[in-house]
Amino acid sequence: MIAHLVALMVTDTLTERVKSVMPTAAEERWLEIGWRTDIRKARIEAQEAGKPLFFWVMNGHPMGCT
């Protein structure tokens, strides 16, 4: 009986910890952006829509590993 209660407490604590580090819906809004990988097609699409082109450039490994 006590082992079952301890297991429930551990599970609840683990669930709370997982929820605390997972991104919220507001934090994942960037996933809704229609990212493009072809700059030429993106330029044409932006021009046709009358919108600016956001150009993200980086040098190195995306995770900062070198």
pLDDT tens-place string over residues 3-37: 765 666 666 788 888 888 899 999 999 888 888 88
Asked if 53 and 46 count as a contact pair (C-beta separation under 8 A), the reply is: yes
pTM of the model: 0.46
CA 42 to chain centre: 21
How open is the CA angle 45-51-57, to the nearest 5 degrees?
A: 75
DSSP states of 11-45: HHHHHHHHHHHSPPTTTTGGGGS---S-HHHHHHH
Instruction: Inform me whether the pLDDT recorded for 2 exceeds 90.
Output: no
| Tens-place pLDDT, residues 31-66 | 888 888 899 999 999 999 999 998 888 777 777 776
